[in-house]
Structure 1
Amino acid sequence: MAVILSSPSGAGKSTLARRLMAWDDTLRFSVSATTRAPRDGEVEGEHYYFTDPEEFGRMIVAGEMLEYAEVFGNHYGSPRAPVEEALKAGRDVLFDIDWQGTQQIKAALQGDVVSIFILPPSIAELERRLRARGQDAVEVIAGRMAKSEAEISHWGEYDYVLVNEDLDATEAVLRGILTAERMKTTRQPWLTEFTRGLATEFKERQP
């Protein structure tokens, strides 16, 4: 299944995504492609696939993106091939994307998607976290804060909504969601054959 984490910038989705990956090494992270320049410490193929606008546009036209959007003047998107390969191999794929990408992923993957929206405990705390990261200029932070209201308004489109007041507590809830979703009968196709075997055992025990 595809597991989507969305939130306004600074609410904690990227940190929570990393924690989920550390908890369960069977999860495959969907690495996004982007046209923005790498930040200090970012590694090609691990944090993002860095590309130019021309190549990004070619991938869209060729149908090689599951979803894509323009954010703060840069383009971001999820390459289709590695995601479909992981899903066919039976691995769950984790997405760190916005509400627009979520809508596109739901349309592209048709059903096997779990969407989770992360809310900040307050707008003041959201701004504090953005400033504490020390990654963006003042005007960029202002832009992210301005966009956060529109992003939060889409919370109702998600399967689950969590308020990230405490990272440890929120991570624990996310683990529970993932475990429960995996246990749904629709995601355990082996049960059909297993229960047939149980029925056969009952018949064999009859005198």
Structure 2
Amino acid sequence: MFYDPRTDAHGLPHNPWTALVTPRPIGWISSRAPDGTPNLAPYSFFNAVAGTPPMVMFSSTPRKHSLENIEAAGEFAVNVATFELREAMNLSSATVGADIDEFQLTGLTPAPCRNIAAPCVAESPISLECILYQTIPLVPKSGLACATTVVIGEVVGIHIADSVLTEGRVDTTRVRPLARLGYMDYSVTDRVFEMLRPDPDLALAEAREKGWIDADPA
């Protein structure tokens, strides 16, 4: 099938879009309102976008309490949602008033950060302290209405629990991070395998041998 999302209906019982780019890591964003109320909410459009310095992004559709808090304070934390914390993560997605502390709502423990005033989730094995770099309201060239704002943060502090380290490396099978799929589906990382980057000369030689690309001219 093919459809143009700018003009065509997909014709399926459910919108397939969020099932097409998967799995997506979950940015479990903690922030603090101007009155000091902690806030915690999961965002499935989230990822790392730079390594040096480390930077992350997530998008809010529409404007939510997290975005308002981050714009006011200029900071937030990202906590890794794990399989063990799945119920708390899901509960924190409930649409409640700005006066509700989602840490209390979910029974989670707010832990102090080192370099920002917003709290992080004590039960999460990995938390990233971030300062706001930029917010970008998306304005589609198609002219379609869009209520999404992208938030980019620079990571200024990283917490890693010793329990998820194996021989000095983060062991993803110990973290067991959740990922968002399409519809109301999630997945968990239980299996990891390694693939090294190929040697370019060997890769070209193999491709020529298999006839995938032309052989070197005589």
TM-score bracket relative to the smaller structure: under 0.3
Relative to its length, the structure with more strand (as a share) is 2
TM-score, L = length of structure 2: 0.20
Larger relative contact order (CA 8 Å, sep ≥ 6):
1
TM-score, L = length of structure 1: 0.21
Relative to its length, the structure with more helix (as a share) is 1
